[in-house]
Every structure is written in structure tokens, then in C-alpha cells.
Structure 1
Amino acid sequence: MALEKQLKWEGKASAELKGPKAEQIWPLLEDFFGLHKWFPTLTTCHGVEGTSGVAGCVRFCAGFKTPVDPKSDQNQDQEKVNWTKQKLLTIDPANMTYSYSIIDGNVGFNSYISTVQVVPKDAGCTIVWKYEVEPVEGWRLEDLDLFIGTGLQVMASRMEASLQLQVE
């Protein structure tokens, strides 16, 4: 099959935050079990193993939409619920970075590994999300780029808004 012969897909998304410092954004991302607070359409994220933010912990994420989900006019109760289990592989608070892998799920991601980092800038910071995965049946790399890129932009906006509310 053609998918088996392809190398891993690799991609990178970034979001610039104007104003919030890296030291303000990092704790929001470091809360590994709190992704549902920021990622769009993610309705559930909770720990199933270990302590949030400690290498080896595992989170369960469900309810997110993907660019390849079938469009349906039928009752939403009939729709498939996307889910993954994700394991925190490494975390480095000093460099504001962590990596994780998807260890189980129903969206077809095999050998998915991602690294997220907050990079300080003069007038704020940038969140960088790098990822690699074996080609996913029914997806194009562009679909994955759209999913992660759009998700990261929404996450950054929500984080900025949350920090703005704390200031007011």
C-alpha cells in the first residue's frame, strides 16, 4: 500500500502572542491534563495515569473535531467521538518545552510524537508545536497542518484572553 512506503509526515505550527510573556504562558501549557481549557472543540481532557506535568503521565482527550470528520446532517448522537490517549515523554520547565506521544486512539495516528515549546520574545512569546506521524489513512498532511495550526491559533487567543481577564 502507498501509505506504508511513505516516510513520516513532519510539520510545525507557531502562534505569536503579543503581550503575554513566556513565563505567563508556560504554566498554562505545562498543565498537561488541562488541554481542554484551550484546544478548540476538545470537550474532555483528564488524567488517567500519573501526575499532570510529570514525565510518564497519560491524559485522555475526547470530543475534538478534525478536518476529515464526515459531515453529517443527522442526529449528533450518531456521530463518532474522536479520542486519544497521550503520554508525556519529556518535560523541561527551564526551557519551557515538553514532548508527548499518542499511545492509543481512534483517529488513526500511529507513531505520533509532538514537541511543544514556548519561546520568549521581546514583546511577548511564540508557541511552537512540532509534530511527526506516520501517514494517516484518509488524511493528507495538509489536513494535519490545518488541524494543528488552527488549533494552536485558537489556543493562543484563548490564553491571551484568559490572562487579560486576570489583569482587569
Structure 2
Amino acid sequence: MEKASDQEKWQAKVSVTLTKTNPNQIWLLFTDFFNFNKWLPTLATCHGVHGTNGEPGCIRFCSGSSIRSNGVDSAAGWSKEKLVAVDPVERVMSYEIVESNIGFESYVSTVRILPRGEDEGCVIEWSFTVNPVGGWSLDDLVKKYEKALGIIAKNMEDALTRSRE
């Protein structure tokens, strides 16, 4: 049996297209790094534990039922996540998990907000690399991310649409 460190990292990217909001509006919501639970209901808690919200080096604590430890539903999953890069011009941010009980090792995630052609709208891309996670297949993890991103995007777009009414 191979050790996790000897196995190839899992890599994936999911995306969703929004039609009613522009990239800058969505970008501002994503860079509110300490309050991400506003957009993902399965994330019961998300708050800052170090640094200034939205600035590289800040760390957030997240917990909830979004991803369970090693695929087991017995305890709430939690993680501490460090924002490692923010590029407001390109609307790209990257973060890494620095500590968790969810079995994610060497996890790095990148969120990119792209314009959608000439019309209003945007595309949210969420990619990640992680060592293989016990109790999960890459396909199942990708499905979880697709579902989560769909919920996040809908909640963000709905909030922005309501604020214009």
C-alpha cells in the first residue's frame, strides 16, 4: 500500500456561470474571507482567528457539516484556512488548509472570478489540489464541490439581486 505522500495529488476544478451579477460584485463577496458561512449554509461557523480579513496571511476557522472527517458523519468537520494570495486585478485568491480534522493534507484551493463575455455575468472557478483523502474518491469530492459552488453562487447572486430591488 502506498503512503499518501507517495500518491499523486488529486486535482480538480469546478465552475458555475452567473448571469445577473458582474465579476467585481462576486469578487467582493469572496474576499470577505472571514464570513464565508453567509453563502454556504452547511458551514455553521466561519470567523477570523488571525490577521486582517481578506489580506494574505489571515486565517479563518470553519466548521460544519460541509465535509466530514475521513467521510465519517460522527463529528463536525473543522479546518483552519490561511489566505495565501489575493490578486484583485485578476480577481484570483488562493488559500490553504493549515490544520483540520477532515483528512485534507497539502490542500491548496484557488478561486477565480472571470467575466462572461460582453454581457453582464461572470464565471466562478474553484480549483483545488490535495493529497488523496481517506474515505473519499476524487469523483465524490468533485461532486461535493460542484454542489457547494452551485449553492454559494445562487446565494451570492440572490443577495446581490435583492440589494438592487
Q: TM-score, normalised by structure 1?
A: 0.91
Question: How far has the Cα of 1:148 moved from its partner?
Answer: 1.2
**Deviation digits for residues 83-134 of structure 1, max 9, x if unmatched?**
0000000001111110000000000000000100100112300000010000
Name the structure 2 match of 1:41: 42
Structure 1 unaligned runs (5+)?
A: 71-78
Name the structure 2 match of 1:141: 138
The DSSP-based 3-state class of the residue aligned with 2:102 is coil
Name the structure 2 match of 1:126: 123
Question: How far has the Cα of 1:26 moved from its partner?
Answer: 0.7
Instruction: Give the root-mean-square deviation of aligned CA atoms.
Output: 1.3
Q: 2:87 aligns with which of 76, 92, 95?
A: 92
Name the structure 2 match of 1:106: 101
CA contact (8 A) 1:43 1:62 kept: yes
CA contact (8 A) 2:20 2:161 kept: no
d(CA) in 2 for partners of 1:23, 1:167: 15
Question: How far has the Cα of 1:40 moved from its partner?
Answer: 3.3
The DSSP-based 3-state class of the residue aligned with 2:89 is helix
CA contact (8 A) 1:40 1:151 kept: no
Question: How far has the Cα of 1:167 moved from its partner?
Answer: 1.0
CA contact (8 A) 1:3 1:137 kept: no
d(CA) in 2 for partners of 1:90, 1:127: 17
CA contact (8 A) 2:95 2:109 kept: yes
Question: Aligned residues, how many?
Answer: 160
d(CA) in 1 for partners of 2:110, 2:64: 22
Identity %: 44
The DSSP-based 3-state class of the residue aligned with 1:19 is coil
Letter in 1 for 2:24: E
**Deviation digits for residues 47-100 of structure 1, max 9, x if unmatched?**
000001100000000013337343xxxxxxxx4111000000000111111000
Letter in 1 for 2:106: S
Question: How far has the Cα of 1:23 moved from its partner?
Answer: 1.1
Residue 156 in structure 1 maps to residue 147 in structure 2: no
d(CA) in 2 for partners of 1:138, 1:162: 35
Name the structure 2 match of 1:9: 10
